Amino acid sequence: MTGRDTVPPPLTESRNPATHDLDELSVPELVDRMADQDRQALQAVRAAREDIAHLITMGVDVLRSGGRIHYFGAGSSGRLGVLDAAEVIPTFGVGPQVFVAHLAGGPAAMTAAVEEVEDDADAGTLDAIEVTGADLAIGLSASGVTPYVGGALRRARATGAATALVSANPSAPLAADADLHIALATGPEAITGSTRMKAGTAQKLVLTTFSTAVMVRLGRTYSNLMVSLTAVNDKLRRRSVRLLCEAAAVDADTAGRALAAAGGDTRVALVGLLADLPADRARHLLARHEGSVKAVLRSVVNPVPES
């Protein structure tokens, strides 16, 4: 028996007394029972509010200082990290180097189960080799015991990087390898051990909340509008025009002309419309104010001499 075998199983591996009769329920009853369980995912996220807010502040500080955010995970948890990192790019107009996802087993593990790689701590260490002391490394492990994630967190921490763990195990052993532990107390799954269910849902909620809030704090939205997208196809151009009509109270023709003058950059077009500035001036001011439309507008109202 190994030392790992003597560790008590995480709560995510416990049997759920509320679903013992799952295979005897009607289809509508199955839906109701699983929905009842899923409510616990949202409750767990709300209960972790302060820790999630702390993680957001860590992320903002890292990106403002020129660092990167890394996700490390295996299986369902790792796939959620890949999904979030991929979706940040078109939603907020950032490059692929800002949020970097590392999945145990590599790209092939996105569509096929490669279960054994999660036990390889050395693989996690190797995947974290690109983490620097300026970065934030976030481990994703529902059980809180995944060796791959542990290897990555220990390597990241050794470089001086900030580290965090998102798990569904309040007693996660890997918490010792992280500066911050977001413990999502989702409890036993409807299907014992199937953490792609409410544990996964809770992790997804944390990730989308984290990345979205970080981008909001960095000025990548205007109000609740997705202004950082670049209109590179017809669908996005139509979306940008609608957004500009809403934000600047102009008609579609005016919005379209502003967008064209801005080279498809929605923020440049919006600043131009709201502040009555040519596109090149709007672009210059956005660069000066870290891309924040509201910061530019405040500077136009209360100008500060340029150095």
Would you please indicate which residues are annotated as catalytic (active-site) residues? 87, 118
Amino acid identity for residue 19 in this structure: T
Token couple for 117 = 């790689």
Token couple for 291 = 């891309």
Token couple for 265 = 């950059």
Residue 138 backbone class (left: φ over 0; alpha: ψ -120 to 50; beta: rest): beta
Residue 140: partners with Cβ closer than 8 Å, 6 or more residues away:
71, 72, 73, 77, 78, 80, 81, 149, 166, 203, 207
> What is the total residue count of the chain?
307
Q: Classify residue 222 by its DSSP letter.
A: B
- Give the dihedral sign, CA 238/241/247/252: negative
Percent helix, strand, coil in the chain, to 5, is 60, 10, 35
- If we measure between CA atoms, which residue out of 271, 293, 291 comes closest to residue 281? 271
Token couple for 224 = 């609740």
φ, ψ (nearest 5 deg) of residue 205 = -60, -40
160 half-sphere exposure, CB direction, 13 A CA radius: 5
Determine the Cα–Cα distance for residues 213 and 93; give it in Å rounded to an integer. Answer: 15
User: CA–CA distance from 257 to each of 41, 176, 283 (Å)?
Assistant: 45, 55, 16
